[in-house]
Amino acid sequence: MRLFFALWPDTQTQHAWHDGLAPYLAPLGGRRMPSANLHLTLAFLGDVRGDRMSELLRLGDDLATDALSLRFDHLEYWKKPGLVCLRTADTPPPLARLAGQLGTGLDMAGFAVERRQFKPHVTLARDVPVGMASLPVWPVVEWQVPAVALVRSRLAAGGSEYAVLHEWRLG
Ligand code: ATP
Ligand code: MG
Give me the residues paired with residue 161 across strands: 154
What is the CB < 6 Å shell around ligand 1?
2, 4, 41, 44, 114, 123, 126, 153, 155, 159-160
Ligand 2 centre and the CA of 83: distance in Å? Answer: 11
Ligand 2 centre and the CA of 145: distance in Å? Answer: 23
Question: Could you give the CA distance from residue 133 to residue 75 in angstroms, rounded to a whole number?
Answer: 9
Residue 165's CB is within 10 A of a number of other CB atoms, namely 15
Against a cut of 0.85, is the pTM above it? yes
pLDDT digit string, tens, across residues 106-130: 999 999 887 788 999 999 999 999 9
pLDDT digit string, tens, across residues 37-60: 999 999 999 999 999 999 999 999
Q: What domains lie within the chain, and their CATH numbers?
A: 2-169 (3.90.1140.10)
Atom 24 in ligand 1: residue holding the nearest Cα: 44
Longest Cα separation, the chain: 45
Atom 8 in ligand 1: residue holding the nearest Cα: 160
Question: Could you give the CA distance from residue 38 to residue 35 in angstroms, rounded to a whole number?
Answer: 6
